[in-house]
Structure 1
């Protein structure tokens, strides 16, 4: 049993670790932008932060639309491996399926990028009607104009990323993302301050730098895939030849994923507004702890993607036991990481919070330290529910994941947070206990649904006659 768990953990880790490190590197990328905006001033930070919130909401949902590309490619690649011995014709048919999914994924990314960019521009025009400060709105609108062209290469990158992950060759992702941090920082400095004879663009320079980095990252990943002997023959870029049926299938899977991502982001946004109702110290504490959760959440994202791809692969190979073990392995790996993180929260709360609240008020630091106690347990469920969504995606079941997260987040978590925070007067701690409750309910429902759905895919043994 232990030997099997260790073997499965190594197999999962080979795919999950590069994805986790890539996710953490992307956090560093956005942190660079935030630091640069903060150096420009409070108004610039507020405007840039608002623009990034809008951009990230649309980008996250766009990423959801192409996330299932990895699962479809993993299943097709596994079928090619499984039937390779049957004959070249059967294997080539499976390879054609991979190429069709790549083309369709890029077509969906293109559609989402164009529509999303238009939504960003329109949203910028509507901000004055949402009660925002006029000075902030003007800067936010300009920032959105600079960010909107970057959405298209950003989603192209995600489509190619899912292709490399589905083929179980994600190694180039980490190198490219790490390099993009340095490029982003350099471009930010040059464009914001106008060095080397360039005009001083201020906040707009941050947006242009971000868009440029997305374009360069896409080109770098595309070139890396073209140099890979296994990936290059399957990399089909002509979206005009995209199969309409495959595009429709990807959208059928992707729309619920996008809605799930949007729902989760909205859930946490509402709780931030609730925390703000208890004063600036409570909001500062909530923001600091939420950022810690977001950083650690990248581990869950990597494990979820890896588990999802492995489930798709195991089922395509007809290995239901392997798909069942994938769930247990992913949850075991998550438990180990979350235990280490949780112990650090409980043992060294002030050290953990120092980067965020070192110069803040003592009350904010005290509130945040109390929230860390809740967060030490919350992160187990946060990680488990994200893994659950990925496992169901591996079964091509994205609608159940969306429905369950609606129940867990909005029907259980949010009412509980309101009851504990306001009716029982637990304030910010009540909000986070509500978050914990919602995430726990979501995790349990998702994992139960996975077990049920997986059992339904198991072929029944043929009846024997006496």
Structure 2
């Protein structure tokens, strides 16, 4: 008889295959979503370093608040699933209203915050011309927060009903619309004036609205879901409003902390000049694209580890965690090859490397890619570390570790190496790498220690994974 607390010999290959099979569709969906921002960054790069810096700063600030607002309505899916399991359709409808309520409230509040950033950005030492262009960008894109967050509220509502809807298909359509509208509005095609930087902002706001309307059309015409949207049956429930707030607030806080760390680093780099900010925009987007691969692996590893823990297979859970980490590092090293051998070609996908006005920014990006090789290995490791800990039921630990690694290690190191020391943007990136490395190390150590405890006690517990 084979013990449940053992990993089968030769299972590494099977575990790797299983993780990749589950991770692949997750990665594809992630990449489809990130393609929207990537198109904007590429288009901004064609306009020049000044526009890239301003647009990149505006997008970073917009995404900070968008991510926070998304966190606030993320808990809707859990609450809807619970109410649906109990057959409480009235509560399901109340949660739909509550999700849309908080999406609207947070959208309006965050819009106001975005539109009031001109003076704070100036106080923080950002280039005056960059601030002016960034604020023009935000003035246009800020209203897009409302349909963007409405989309997220609907998404989590339908996920709670086990109907995620054609999210990938809608995202793919949105990619096409983003590319087409940018082509027309930014460069002035088909007798439409060339709006330049403003065209990117207009495109983003319009695509957010169209994506929401497409998703709404799907649910309104779906046989099962349409009934929940009957106006006569919708109701405003203070209890549901409170429940969504109570569950969503800590999630929003977690999202805000993680996104805020990178936003603060962007502002820190902005004090080093327009070229540095342009370099940060491009390199951050490159790393963000590659990050989607580790995010998919992290989610897949978390799910498989949960299953292993649920049947007491703790040694296999440990092996799955190690396989996930190994796959993540391997993928990051594969991406390092073009970084090292073809840096100008990689950068050239986002900005002209031959334009005289871009040469200083391109020089920073070329060196930055070498730092990114190390940085993204640590980034993938901490991301997968979060996932494998969630797989064994630990959600509080990763939050504490991430807060420590980001804010108490990464940010001070970035400030000391990049601002106090003469290393500039390279010092900031090195500080970021140190913060990610500290976070990854602590997460992995925590995973190994907790698995040892589970193996030693032999307790058969179902690990509640955050899937």
TM-score by length of 1: 0.73
CA contact (8 A) 2:305 2:317 kept: yes
- Give the Å deviation of 1:428: 5.1
Aligned to 2:142: 148
Shift of the 164–272 alpha-carbon distance from structure 1 to 2, 3 Å rule, reads farther
1:335 paired residue among 329, 332, 340: 329
Q: 1:378 aligns with which of 366, 375, 379?
A: 375
Structure 1 residue 299 corresponds to structure 2 residue 293: yes
CA distance in 1, matches of 2:38, 2:417: 32
Name the structure 2 match of 1:213: 207
- Other structure's SS at 2:180 match: helix
Q: What is the distance in 1 between the residues matched to 2:98 and 2:302?
A: 20
1:53 paired with 2:65, answer no
Structure 1 243/13 Cα, relative in aligned 2: closer, same or farther at 3 Å? farther
Unpaired stretches in structure 2, ≥5 consecutive residues: 1-7, 462-467
1:109 to 103, 106, 122: 103
Partner of 1:28: 35
Ranges in structure 1 where 5+ consecutive residues have no aligned partner: 81-90
Alignment of 1:348-363 (within 5 A): 348-355=342-349, 356=351, 358-359=353-354
Alpha-carbon displacement from aligned partner over 1:185-206 (angstroms, at most 9, x marks no partner)? 3333444567667777554443
Structure 1: how far apart are the matches of 2:431 and 2:159?
35
What is the aligned counterpart of 2:256 among 255, 259, 264? Answer: 259
CA RMSD of aligned residues (A): 4.7
User: Is contact 1:420–1:427 with CA below 8 Å preserved after alignment?
Assistant: yes
1:451 & 1:398 partners in 2: Cα distance? Answer: 15
Structure 1 residue 247: deviation in Å? 1.0
Match of 2:434 in 1: 437
Count of matched residue positions in the alignment of Structure 1 and Structure 2: 444
Is 379-388 or 96-105 further displaced after alignment?
Answer: 96-105
Structure 1 residue 384 displacement after superposition: 1.8
Match of 1:412 among 409, 412, 415: 409
Contact 2:127 2:270 in 1 (8 A): no
CA contact (8 A) 2:144 2:209 kept: yes
Query: Is it true that 1:64 corresponds to 2:71 in the alignment?
Result: yes
When residues 235 and 204 of structure 1 are mapped into structure 2, their CA distance, relative to the original with a 3 A threshold, is farther
Classify 1:143/1:431 alpha carbon distance in 2 versus 1 (closer, same or farther; 3 Å): closer
Matching residue of 1:19: 26
- Mapped partners of 2:269, 2:246: distance in 1: 36
Partner residue in 2 for 1:240: 236
Change (3 A) 1:385 1:267: farther
Tell me, what secondary structure is at the counterpart of 1:240? coil
Question: Residues 32 and 252 (structure 1 numbering): CA distance in 2 closer, same or farther, change over 3 Å?
Answer: closer
Deviation of 1:408 after TM superposition, in Å, equals 1.0
The CA distance in 2 between the partners of 1:303 and 1:6, in whole Å, is 15
Q: Is the Cα–Cα contact under 8 Å of residues 58 and 116 in structure 1 kept in the other structure?
A: yes
Q: Is the 8 A contact 1:105 1:250 kept in 2?
A: no
Q: CA deviation at 1:151?
A: 0.7
Q: Distance between the aligned counterparts of 1:116 and 1:320, measured in 2?
A: 45
Q: 1:235 to 1:19 in 2, by over 3 A?
A: farther
SS, match of residue 236 in structure 2:
helix
- How big is the shift at 1:50? 3.8
Q: Deviations over 1:343-398 (max 9, x none)?
A: 34344445434434732788876665554444323222101212333455667865
Deviation at 1:320, TM superposition (A): 7.3
What per-residue deviation string (whole Å, max 9, x for no partner) do you get for residues 136-168 of structure 1?
A: 655544432321221122123233444566777
Range with greater deviation from structure 2 (189-198 or 118-127): 189-198
Give the distance between the partners of 1:262 and 1:123, measured in 2 at CA. Answer: 17
- Tell me, in whole angstroms, the C-alpha distance in 2 between the residues paired with 1:114 and 1:304: 33
Structure 1 residues 112 and 395: CA distance shift in structure 2, 3 A: farther
